[in-house]
């Protein structure tokens, strides 16, 4: 079924008002996640999202043309502020970063749900040839964050239209600095989750984010309970030997050969000392040593990453890396200084909330486009900081254009990646549907 036909298709009766077969993904009790008997049908949300799709696309393209990197995104922040005020909402700006948040206060008392969209781009030259390509040299929205902002603004529009009937509050989180800058943690530190609870609305009891990608076909939803994305730590190793003439290596202590042995040793320790069912990835991605062909340098530097999907293996992998590097260096009479800089933690979807979102997605779009992920993904996400504090989920939205080979289609972080824009209608509707169902069931 094509995505356009999917959007027009009626919701099968078997998915209305009851849990779908996808509950089997997690055999945990759902007593804390009841679906209300009188919950309104979600079928109209796709129609509403499709009706505003031209505006969503226009917003996305405006952001795409003017990408910004890191924690300071003044142009993107200004666009978000403008759109929120157009909806009658009052934006709250970050103090130390270009974040934006806003609340949609419902007409009835209830809890708060957080919806997140990240805003930053990547230091990458765009080569897609799109007529709305980046106008900033060396900067590109290659991870789809421009679509996240546009979809969340579209969902805000649909929720504002329904605010009188909302039994609770929606907290909109527009976040800079996801690509390695920890913007989510900065927003939390500035009080993002500290919403007022002395009025009719309660604390944040759920969180939801969408990440677009071309790994999956357009108009599909993928997620899994538990660990969905890996932790990401930066690994630096400096090997110190003794410099000398390249023609007399026996009179020097070559740090390059020691570094090479460390690289091989790290791959061996991963496959021989870490549980294959709780995996780790250790990649050395940069090696710096030497100045010319006839000098043995004094030092060699390695830069890489450590990825795991549990905090236990994260600690184990760090200890093993240190042991291997220092041990191999010592065996050769050299030394190794190991520095592991903690990055994003494991992104863990709350199991019960994952089952809830899978049910909502199936009710919204049909079970044929919703599929639990079998395995975690070794990429990392700083939405993990939110999920450490609030039960919630990140879901993947498929946006691979028709006709592209899944094996060769450019993926996120590619200078050639192109996202199928009609998929954003499903993203807008899913943000809205999860918020509505969350507030209705609390």
Q: Residue 61: how many CB atoms within 10 A of its CB?
A: 16
**Which string of DSSP letters, residue by residue, matches 272-341?**
HHS-TTS-EEEEEEEEEE-SSTTEE-SEEEEEEEEEESSHHHHHHHHHHHHHHHHHHHHHTT-EEEEEEE
Catalytic residue set: 344, 421
Cα–Cα distance for residue pair 97/175, rounded to 1 Å: 9
Cα–Cα distance for residue pair 73/178, rounded to 1 Å: 12
Report whether 66 contacts 76 (CB < 8 A).
Answer: yes
Mapped to the 3 state alphabet, what secondary structure does the chain carry?
Answer: CCHHHHHHCCCCHHHCCCCCHHHHHCCCCCCCCCCCCCCCCCHHHHHHHHHCHHHHHHHHHHHHHCCCCCCCCHHHHHHHHHHHHHCCCCCEECCCCCCEEEEEECCEEEEEEEEEEECCCECCCCCCCCCCCCCCCCCECCCCHHHHHHHHHHHHHHHHHCHHHCEEEEEEEEECCCCCCCHHHHHHHCCCCCCCCCCCEEEEEEEEEEEEEEEEECCCEEECCEEEECCCEEEEEEEECECEECCCHHHCECHHHHHHHHHHHHHHHHHHHCCCCCCEEEEEEEEEECCCCCEECCEEEEEEEEEECCHHHHHHHHHHHHHHHHHHHHHCCCEEEEEEECCCCCEEECHHHHHHHHHHHHHHHCHHHEEECCCCECCCCCCHHHHCCCCEEEEEEEEECCCCCCCCCCCCCCCCCCCCCCHHHHHHHHHHHHHHHHHHHC
The span from the first CA to the last CA of the chain, in angstroms, equals: 35
Cα–Cα distance for residue pair 189/132, rounded to 1 Å: 36
Nearest to 303 by CA among 284, 326, 318: 284
């Amino acid at each position: 079924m094509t995505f356009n036909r999917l959007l027009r298709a009626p919701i099968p009766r078997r998915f209305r008002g009851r849990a779908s077969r996808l509950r089997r993904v997690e055999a945990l009790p759902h007593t804390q996640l009841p679906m209300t008997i009188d919950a309104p049908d979600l079928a109209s949300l796709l129609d509403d999202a499709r009706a505003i799709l031209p505006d969503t696309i226009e917003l996305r393209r405006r952001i795409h043309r003017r990408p910004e990197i890191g924690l300071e995104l003044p142009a993107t922040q200004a666009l978000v502020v403008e759109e929120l005020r157009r909806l009658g909402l009052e934006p709250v700006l970050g103090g130390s970063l270009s974040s934006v948040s806003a609340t949609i206060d419902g007409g009835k008392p209830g809890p708060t749900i957080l919806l997140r969209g990240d805003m930053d781009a990547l230091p990458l030259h765009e080569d897609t040839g799109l007529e709305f390509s980046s106008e900033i040299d060396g900067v590109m929205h290659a991870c789809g964050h421009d679509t996240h902002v546009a979809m969340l603004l579209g969902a805000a529009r649909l929720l504002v239209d329904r605010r009188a009937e909302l039994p609770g509050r929606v907290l909109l989180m527009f976040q800079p600095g996801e690509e390695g800058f920890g913007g989510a943690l900065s927003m939390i530190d500035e009080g993002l989750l500290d919403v007022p609870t002395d009025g009719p609305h309660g604390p944040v009891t759920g969180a939801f984010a969408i990440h677009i990608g071309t790994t999956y076909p357009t108009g599909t939803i993928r997620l899994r309970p538990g660990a969905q994305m890996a932790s990401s730590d930066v690994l630096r190793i400096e090997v110190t030997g003794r410099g000398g003439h390249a023609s007399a290596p026996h009179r020097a202590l070559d740090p390059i050969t020691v570094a090479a042995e460390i690289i091989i040793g790290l791959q061996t320790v991963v496959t021989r000392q870490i549980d294959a069912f709780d995996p780790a990835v250790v990649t050395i991605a940069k090696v710096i040593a030497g100045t010319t062909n006839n000098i043995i340098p004094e030092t060699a530097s390695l830069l890489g990453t450590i990825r795991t999907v549990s905090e236990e293996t994260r600690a184990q992998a760090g200890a093993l890396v240190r042991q291997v590097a220092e041990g191999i260096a010592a065996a050769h009479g050299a030394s190794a200084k190991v520095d592991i800089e903690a990055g994003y933690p494991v992104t863990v979807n709350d199991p019960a909330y994952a089952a809830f979102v899978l049910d909502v997605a199936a009710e919204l779009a049909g079970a044929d486009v919703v599929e639990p992920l079998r395995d975690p993904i070794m990429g990392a996400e700083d939405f993990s900081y939110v999920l450490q504090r609030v039960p919630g989920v990140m879901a993947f939205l498929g946006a691979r254009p028709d006709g592209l080979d899944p094996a060769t289609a450019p993926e996120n972080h590619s200078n050639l990646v192109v996202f199928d824009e009609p998929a954003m209608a499903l993203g807008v509707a899913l943000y809205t549907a999860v918020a509505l169902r969350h507030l209705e069931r609390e």
